[in-house]
Amino acid sequence: MIRLETLGKSFGSFDAVKDVNIEVPKGAFLVLVGPSGCGKSTMLRMLAGLETPSAGRIVFGEDTVSDGEKGWTIDPSRRNVGLVFQSYALWPHMTVAGNVDWPLKVKGLDKAERQARVSEVLGLLGIGALAQRYPNEISGGQQQRVAIARMIAPKPGILLFDEPLSNLDAKLRVEMRTELLRVHRATGATSVYVTHDQVEAMTMASHVAVLNAGRVEQFGPPAELVARPATAFVATFVGTPPANLVPVSALPPVLAAGHPQGVSLMYRPEDMRVSAQPTPDSLAFEFAEASPVAGRIMITGTSGDRRLTAVVDQAPHFTVGDSVHFILPPSPAALFGATGERLQ
Ligand SMILES: Nc1ncnc2c1ncn2[C@@H]1O[C@H](COP(=O)(O)OP(=O)(O)OP(=O)(O)O)[C@@H](O)[C@H]1O
């Protein structure tokens, strides 16, 4: 179990992480997701013990491992965590087996135990055949597997991942997601995974925390975040594609009627249709692109810095720059207030 209680971290007067309250059970796969600079890495560094919180507490199981009020934190090497970064940071002068063996040596295991564990984790990651190669003799994806093998070898209770797949190409990234989940399950450890990629977050997580400017906007299972976003930020951040948010002032009069000023209305892409001709319930945007998604077509339009997307079965042929009329459903899927809070 990992519990974060009113956790905060300030750098001078700047709050990088503020008032975070989260609890996940043992074996959970928690994903911290949010835009660049929202505080994800700072949270992970606090979990790893590389950074002391300025406020609140971090509790692993029954043990408080960091206390912001008292200003202390248990050393990274003594908190039973494994950490994998975006860069693999393998030791270039050691073989694959040597890299994975190193933390076991540090832990003081005897040679027979170490050999058995190295071959077990290399097997788990499917890289047993690479044991005697050096890091510069294997691919980026293989190097990342070695980094993960090295992390799990000493059997940490908590696995921490900081954007571990972002250096890999798109296809390998998708494969490695499945691999990582398999490894996570095989170890029985609780994992915390940082990414700015919401698709990665939604496909991997048992629990997601969406961060924005150092605060958790919403915490819950991925399906709940998509079905019932708590804030306008979450609504436009999660989902494939994310939902559309339209200020009431931009709506056609027939749809704006009855809604208070200042609110924004959420429309799901799959509830919208597109037309080459205007209708009383449509919004005119400039056609930007059409792309196939799971047997359907995703149409994107732009207007200044605003975007709308619709996912439809059929659409007229548009070329870039054409007017595309997005037909909105009679009722929005949700309503958000001026400061982004959910109204209904
Ligand atoms: N040592 C530091 N001193 C001052 N400010 C810092 C320090 N470390 C991080 N910050 C600031 O705290 C905020 C959060 O940074 P953090 O690295 O946690 O964000 P992130 O969500 O991981 O971003 P990214 O996805 O770009 O890595 C940023 O505005 C960053 O500039």
Distance CA 250, CA 272 (A): 16
Instruction: Identify the pLDDT of residue 294.
Output: 86
Q: Which residue has the least CA distance to atom 7 on ligand 1?
A: 11
pLDDT at 277: 96
**Stretch 34-43: mean pLDDT, rounded?**
94
Distance in angstroms (rounded) separating the CA atoms of residues 189 and 160: 10
User: How many helices (H) and strands (E) would you count in the chain?
Assistant: 9, 19
State how far the Cα of 289 lies from the Cα of 253, in Å rounded to an integer: 27
| pLDDT for the residue numbered 320 | 93
pLDDT in tens, 185-196: 999 999 999 999
Q: Are strands 296-303 and 306-312 parallel, antiparallel or unpaired?
A: antiparallel
Helix (H) or strand (E) segment spanning residue 289 = strand 282-293
Maximum CA extent, the chain: 76
50 CA distance to ligand 1 centroid (A)? 14
Cα(137) to centroid(ligand 1), Å? 34
Task: Assess contact for 96 and 137: CB atoms under 8 A.
Answer: no
Q: Evaluate: CB of 54 within 6 angstroms of ligand 1.
A: no
Average pLDDT, the chain: 94
- The CA-based angle 333-334-337, given to 5 degrees, is 155
> How many C-beta atoms lie closer than 10 Å to residue 112's C-beta?
8
3 state DSSP class of 334? strand
Give the separation between CA 269 and CA 266, rounded to whole angstroms: 10
- Residue 16 Cβ inside 6 Å of ligand 1? The answer reads yes
* DSSP bridge partners of 327: 273, 282
Confidence of residue 343 (pLDDT cuts 50, 70, 90): very high
Instruction: Please tell me the residue having the least CA distance from ligand 1 atom 25.
Output: 36
pLDDT at 3 over 90: yes
Q: Which pLDDT band, with edges at 50, 70 and 90, does 282 fall under?
A: very high
pLDDT above 70: percentage of residues in the chain: 100
Is domain 244-336 given the CATH code 2.40.50.140 in the classification? yes
Per the confidence metrics, is the pTM higher than 0.80?
A: yes
Give me the mean pLDDT over the 9-38 stretch: 96
The model's pLDDT over 226-243, given as tens digits with 9 standing for 90+, comes to: 999 999 999 999 988 999
Closest residue CA from atom 12 of ligand 1: 16
Number of neighbours of residue 293 by Cβ within 10 angstroms = 12
CATH 3.40.50.300 describes domain 2-236? yes
Mutate to test the pocket of ligand 1, among 13, 38, 163 (most ligand atoms within 8 A of CB): 38
Paired sense of beta strands 81-84 and 55-60, if any = unpaired
Q: Ligand 1: distance of its center to the CA of 195 in Å?
A: 14
Tokens 């005897």, residue located? 110
With beta carbons less than 8 A apart as the criterion, state whether 147 and 84 touch: yes
Domain boundaries, the chain: 2-236, 244-336
Does the CB atom of residue 36 touch ligand 1 within 6 A?
yes
**pLDDT per residue over 131-168, tens digit each?**
999 999 999 889 989 999 999 999 999 999 999 888 88
